[in-house]
Amino acid sequence: MNRIRILIILAAAAGTLAGCLPLPALQPGHELRITIDLPEAKEVLFLSSLNRYEPVSMRKTFFGPWEIHLPEDKTFDYFFRVDGSPYTPECRLQQTDDWGGRQCIHIPGHRNHE
């Protein structure tokens, strides 16, 4: 158990030193699954305030949608980069960033998408 914990801490430290900030740890039973259905996309990255907008690769599921699992108890804003271009889906809660782009906002307990 201690060996696994040390490896996780080392991996997180290595990512931070390399300029990649890890996303917050997931707690069992308290995760948010974000999916986006872009079947033609070759790469989908998730960018959020959770880790100061460091791109995180999303995983393409067997049936097509791209997905990422995040802590459900955190408030954060986010958008995607699809094949190199910024992309923000329609969402109920959103804001405009400093450069005129849109970002969705996740607030725990609020339903953000239709």
**What is the residue-level pLDDT of the chain in tens, covering all 114 positions?**
434 333 333 333 334 333 455 555 555 667 888 999 998 999 999 999 999 999 999 999 988 799 999 988 899 999 999 999 999 998 889 898 888 889 999 998 876 655
Q: Dihedral of CA 35/38/39/41: which sign?
A: negative
User: Shortest CA distance to 79 belongs to which of 56, 100, 54, 48?
Assistant: 48
In DSSP terms, 94 is beta-bridged to: 104
User: Strand order of the sheet with strand 59-60?
Assistant: 31-36, 66-71, 59-60
CA distance 107 to 3: 35
114 belongs to a structural domain: no
Look at the chain and report how many structural domains it folds into.
Answer: 1
Considering the entire predicted model, what is its pTM? 0.73
Query: Whole domain around residue 32: which residue ranges?
Result: 24-106
What CATH number did the domain enclosing 44 receive?
2.60.40.10
84 belongs to a structural domain: yes
